[in-house]
Structure 1
């Protein structure tokens, strides 16, 4: 979505996409690149306080939200928004509800001024779910959204319930179009995206519960804008979009589908 906006609106966006083979090592390396990233979009399978990545051999690895947030912690102070597009990434325990109501440890609030250019990394993983986190070994598993706010001090969009892929994709498209293309605040862009995604009513692709699934976390979420600068004419055509310095297209795209 951000790549499309950059091409059609002349927005200054540096986009990095991790599509397949998203291992701990690869994710941690990208997090440390250059000066960091303004936006992180985490898309994949998850449940409650866990998220699914891959191992080097391609098998699935289920990690806690605490561990994922720890790997992203080098972005604290730079990152403005994390979207956790995974099932139940905002599901809260009773203890977490009490803490968020001020009856527990305070949440850190580190705000960063919007930069002229937005750098974003999209870690998308569609591996089959294999294995699980041992609850007795891991202890209480907090919601991924809460961990991200605690460690990064940024705004977080997360899902309170299981989410259907079609709805998650449409929601993300509307969210980033509102913030990047139209300059809306995060709450306005999210509300508009939900409304437009469900405009035709509930369906198998967008169940009725979807309207109450996305949730905002973090003090910075209230008035967050990405502040992306634009300008210039839209750029289309193979002659003008050549990828200089890139290797030739492989005969077979590993991990892709028809």
Structure 2
């Protein structure tokens, strides 16, 4: 069997990116029984036009589009990564701000509760002070009324005492000058000798109190002194007392 060998030279094509595509040599082995009519080349047209320029142009366009696609994809990935980082930064900032706001809200709530408690305590203290002030005011008014009443009673008593003194002064001077100061005894060896007599009168604090003779010199009969003092308390006239005591002293010195 006779074999025929065909070898083709190495062909090279330049792609759009500037590289060279090398096609390896091809060896065709044909058997002796292979005829020209069986060859595919005999079935092709006599002239085969391969559009290398158009193919090169298309490959260049494809390379440019692919490079553009890759560049756009790279830019998109870069932009998405930057956007993701920015969003994560924003989320972190928002989380920090949210935590800070929550802490401030909790602190504000605690301060509000404390202030509310203090306000309630101050209001309660103010109410207590107001009630105490009102009680003190009523007490002061009562004391003022009592003082005014006592002052009125004292003025009335002073006026009565003054009127009584104006009435008693002439009579008292008369008894002191003529009757109440000295008691003269009579008879025996005591004639012509002066003898002194004295008594102590307890004057009451009010106009309705009772007078009392608490001491006398020389000593007198207490029943008789009590009758004289009783007439004094009934009449409230000091002259009655002086006249009665003079009579008792005169009787006791006889």
Tell me the TM-score normalized by structure 1: 0.15
Q: Which has the higher contact order (CA 8 A, sep 6+)?
A: 1
Tell me the TM-score normalized by structure 2: 0.15
Larger proportion of helix: 2
Query: Larger C-alpha radius of gyration, 1 or 2?
Result: 2
Larger proportion of strand: 1
